[in-house]
Amino acid sequence: MKRVDQLVLVISFVGFSWLAMQAVHESGHVLGAWFSGADIEKVVLHPLTISRTDISYNPHPLVEIWAGPLAGILFPLAALLVAWRLHAPRLYLFRFFAAFCLVANGVYIGLDSFGGSGDAAELVHYGTPRFLLVAFGLAAFTSGMLLWNGLGPQFGFGEAKGRVERNAAIVSLSLFTLIVLVEVLLDSR
């Protein structure tokens, strides 16, 4: 039974982290668009697609574009800090999510700067130097890996030999189910 709990925790929390990371990243684009006076045509968030924010008019594209990856790392780090200050139970879930967001946004911006078609390509198009994107990517990726370091036993790896908190697996599965339902329902409107 312990391996079932471990599988539920690991699979559902990685799934939740992927979908929530995209939602946080796109919320940054939305806030950046709002602050810069851009017109948002559509925000795509669905469990079976890669998220995106479509903008029709954008007087300050660098603000809107940078807001995605910056919010994508700063919001989860802020949530981790609050959880840590409040001594939240299962702090390792907050830590994993913040690390996941750092790694994902770091890889996305850092690697995409070498000829991709996403945010980094747009940032280069609007004048951001590639070295800045690579530096952002390396800093975010390295920070995420440092945050992930040592979390294996909480997810049943190493000396834990598959043992995890059953409540953590239930919380994780609930979060994953909730975010899938919300994204599907929002997409159907």
Tell me the residue range of the domain where 91 lies.
2-187
Q: Cβ–Cβ contacts within 10 Å for residue 67, how many?
A: 25
Residues counted in the chain: 189
pTM: 0.95
Number of domains within the chain? 1
Angle at 111 between CA 105 and CA 117, to 5 degrees: 90
Residue type, 137: G
Task: Write out pLDDT tens, residues 29-88.
Answer: 999 999 999 999 999 999 999 999 999 999 999 999 999 999 999 999 999 999 999 999
Mean pLDDT of the chain: 95
Angle at 70 between CA 67 and CA 72, to 5 degrees: 100
